[in-house]
Amino acid sequence: MNIDHNSTRRVFEMLSRGQFLSANTIRPEFRKLYDEVEEYFSAFESVYAPLGFHLKKGNNYFYFSREGGRQTIEEKIERFYKYIDRLAFFATFAPGFGEGMRFYVKDIVHKCNVETDLNDQLQRLTSDKSISTHDKVRDLMDEMKRQGFMDCEDDENEGYIVLSSYNYLKDIVDLIDIDPTNE
């Protein structure tokens, strides 16, 4: 099967920037790409392998992995500290927070205003202490959207959906094995 070169280019442009291609994306053009990669996974995989990019399939999402990437192990760990904090924030907002969940920025803002633990977590996630809680939450959502973990499905009311790629973060954190006997 010959795959469309336009599709291979678009998938490469997306995944090579560290983004994800999720099954439950709300964008029809991305959903079409996801379906195409799903159907012709081996063909897509063979296109990217000679370039040093390994197409990986997670639970309803695709991403690139690179052997001998540019990041050191310390840089990767530092990046995941950031994600652990975000996962904790969203789990505090809503136990069971995950793939397919829909929510509004205003709901998180309201809960931050009434629950000090959630608000304290938000303060630790943001560097600009002078902006409003609403702007902090909006900035966090923009970041998660840029990274491909969430998508805005209602711009006017700031409604979001958690994409399948969010499982990637949860799976990585689940791999962390801390020996409680070794302090």
Beta strands in 108-177 (DSSP E): 150-154, 159-162
Asked whether residue 63 carries a pLDDT value surpassing 80, the answer given is: yes
Predicted confidence (pLDDT) per residue in 95-153, tens digit? 999 999 999 999 999 999 999 999 999 999 987 778 999 999 999 999 999 989 999 99
| Residue 69: pLDDT band with limits 50, 70, 90 | low
Answer whether 117's CB lies under 8 Å from 123's CB: no
pLDDT given for residue 93 in this prediction? 96
Of the candidates 162, 169, 161, the residue with the CA atom closest to the CA atom of residue 63: 169
Edge-first strand listing for the sheet containing 61-65 = 21-22, 61-65, 54-57
b/e code 63-80 from CB counts within 10 Å (16+ = b):
bbeeeeeeeeeeeeeeeb
For 144, half-sphere exposure in the C-beta direction (CA atoms, 13 angstrom radius) is: 30
Summarize the confidence of residues 26-43 as an average pLDDT. 94
- Residue bearing the bigger pLDDT, 30 or 71: 30
Residue 171's pLDDT band (cuts 50, 70, 90)? confident
Question: Given this model, what pLDDT does residue 80 score?
Answer: 81
Q: Which residues pair with 64 in a beta bridge?
A: 55
Residue 77 is predicted with a pLDDT of 77
Output DSSP code: residue 51.
Answer: G
φ, ψ for residue 94 (rounded to 5)?
Answer: -150, 105
pLDDT at 176 over 80: no
Spatial separation of the C-alpha atoms in residues 158 and 150, rounded to whole Å: 12
pTM: 0.85
**Scanning the structure block, which residue is given the tokens 């010959």?**
2
Which ranges in 40-72 belong to alpha helices (H)?
41-48
Judged against a pLDDT cut of 60, whether residue 175 lies above it is answered with yes
Tell whether the model's pLDDT for residue 3 goes beyond 90: no
